[in-house]
Amino acid sequence: MFIEPNISGERRGWIEVICGSMFSGKTEELIRRLKRAKIANLKVEIFKPGIDVRYDETKVVSHDANAIHSTPVDNSQKILLLSQDVDVVGIDEAQFFDDEITHVCETLALKGVRVIVAGLDMDYLGKPFGQMPNLLAIADYISKLHAICVQCGNIANISYRKTAQEGQVLLGEKDIYEPRCRVCNHK
């Protein structure tokens, strides 16, 4: 499907990706950017995957309890349907979305929308997570954030899973995950 790009010289869209491990501040940074867009009187829509109900069913909430209202969706195509006449679209936990999320972000950017996406770039095994590698590839701006390793105090880039439960997707917080650096993760 070809989307005609906005070449009239009006508003130009772009894609920003905020990535990193759990507890690195991705959602906090997403909320900060979206609140600044609202202060600038831009029309903002925020989306999160419907499966993420850890803190709230409809709000995007950071670990520091900072929150912003969002719309939970069960597939990325709904983001296109619900993003009519907006200036900025925020998407949290992008690693949980389906294969179309990259196309959705590209389509929005071509329509002149600023797209801000946050998500885990790696899973608990240190492997690329979901569509994040594809989003990083098409991003105009990338911010990689780091947590602090709870074992040694160095920067952490891995979400270490403290349980033996397998499967790439396991929703949880500090009860299940902790940030670790590369060295401590391999111990």
φ, ψ of residue 156 to 5 degrees: the values are -115, 140
End-to-end CA distance of the chain: 48
Q: Which residues are catalytic?
A: 93
Residues 158 and 179: beta-carbon distance below 8 Å: yes
Q: Using alpha carbons only, how large is the chain's radius of gyration in Å?
A: 17
184: helix, strand or coil: helix
Secondary structure class of 132 (helix, strand, coil):
helix
Q: What is the 3-state secondary structure (H, E, C) of 16-48?
A: EEEEECCCCCHHHHHHHHHHHHHHCCCCEEEEE
Look up residue 50 and give its amino acid. Answer: G
Residue found under tokens 């619900």: 82
d(CA 64, CA 161): 21
